[in-house]
Amino acid sequence: MTPASGGYPHSYYADSVDLPPRRAALEGSQEADICIVGAGFSGLAAGLFLRERGYRVILLEGERVGWGASGRNGGQLINGFNGGIDFLHDYFSDCGTSVAELHLAGGDILREVTERHRIDCDYRPGHVTVAYTQKHMQGLAEEAKLCQRHDIPGYQLLDKDQLQEYVGSGVYAGGLLDGRGGHIR
Ligand SMILES: Cc1cc2nc3c(=O)[nH]c(=O)nc-3n(C[C@H](O)[C@H](O)[C@H](O)COP(=O)(O)OP(=O)(O)OC[C@H]3O[C@@H](n4cnc5c(N)ncnc54)[C@H](O)[C@@H]3O)c2cc1C
């Protein structure tokens, strides 16, 4: 992949914004309470939250801020867990946190931080999982019931016509809308 201007690889993001100037290289020795290596989402979030708690933080990045996976991803906010909701419920049943809270925490943090810091990321709420077949639709209906059973709000089953209003296509059997999912740019 050839580098775009400013040292980022070509991506929708790098090619569609005015890139900020490069930051200066670290010179000499510096002191901090915490040094974080890597300015992707993980390092940036850790740095931000630690700084808000009063720590002196140095964040080191070998390339550019957001150069790694964070600057190349699809921007989709999709709630859910690989292990499934029931697994998570059983696993965390002793720690006093509901599976609904865990399920939605990431998205809530993203909305709260982008609003508080006025981050211009064009957040669009809503994520739809579409079904090609009735069998797939039954699977989505079961998922919707599971969310209801665990008091996870924001999910709505859509039939073929309702889904068409969202996606502009009639090829799908229906879908499951997650109103707490979304997309950022
Ligand atoms: C193609 C793609 C699409 C994706 N789509 C989505 C999506 O739609 N939604 C979603 O939630 N997630 C998505 N992901 C996953 C998400 O982007 C990653 O989980 C997330 O960006 C990881 O962030 P990170 O900060 O841990 O790592 P990175 O963003 O990779 O950051 C690591 C940083 O550390 C720096 N670094 C590494 N070693 C050193 C060193 N020794 N010294 C100095 N700096 C160093 C790197 O240069 C880099 O900038 C996607 C990922 C990819 C690759």
Give the nearest ligand 1 atom to 42 CA.
Answer: 25
Q: Are residues 86 and 64 in the same domain?
A: no
Nearest residue (CA) to ligand 1, atom 53: 69
Residue range(s) defining the domain that contains residue 34: 1-74
Q: Are residues 180 and 120 in the same domain?
A: yes
Q: What is the largest CA-CA distance in the chain?
A: 64
- Look at residue 118 in the predicted model and tell me its pLDDT: 95
Residue 172 neighbours by CB under 8 Å, 6+ apart: 130, 131, 132, 160, 163, 164
Q: Are residues 86 and 62 in the same domain?
A: no
Mean pLDDT, the chain, rounded, equals 90
Give the nearest ligand 1 atom to 44 CA.
Answer: 25
Residue 18 neighbours by CB under 8 Å, 6+ apart: none
Q: Are residues 147 and 57 in the same domain?
A: no
Mutate to test the pocket of ligand 1, among 1, 26, 42, 65 (most ligand atoms within 8 A of CB): 42
State which of 74, 106, 126 marks the end of a domain: 74
Q: What does the pLDDT average to over 25-31?
A: 93
Q: Are residues 104 and 167 in the same domain?
A: yes
- Quickly state the pLDDT bin for 84 (edges 50, 70, 90): confident
Q: Are residues 27 and 103 in the same domain?
A: no
For ligand 1, say whether the CB of 80 is within 6 Å of any of its atoms: no
Query: Is pLDDT above 70 for 5?
Result: no
DSSP per residue, 96-137: T--HHHHHHHHHHHHHHHHHHTT-----EEEEEEEESSHHHH
State which of 74, 98, 114 marks the end of a domain: 74
Q: Are residues 10 and 53 in the same domain?
A: yes
Helices (H) and strands (E) in the chain, counts: 6, 6
Query: Is pLDDT above 80 for 1?
Result: no
Q: Are residues 66 and 86 in the same domain?
A: no
Ligand 1 geometric centre to CA of 163 (Å): 32
Mutate to test the pocket of ligand 1, among 23, 70, 78, 82 (most ligand atoms within 8 A of CB): 70
Q: Are residues 96 and 182 in the same domain?
A: yes
Q: Does 146 or 134 have the greater pLDDT score?
A: 134
State which of 74, 91, 119 marks the end of a domain: 74
Give the nearest ligand 1 atom to 66 CA.
Answer: 49
CA atoms within 13 A on the CB side of 135: 0
Q: What does the pLDDT average to over 49-77?
A: 94
Q: Are residues 22 and 61 in the same domain?
A: yes
Q: What does the pLDDT average to over 88-96?
A: 76
How far out from the chain centre does Cα 98 lie?
A: 20
Domain count across the chain:
2
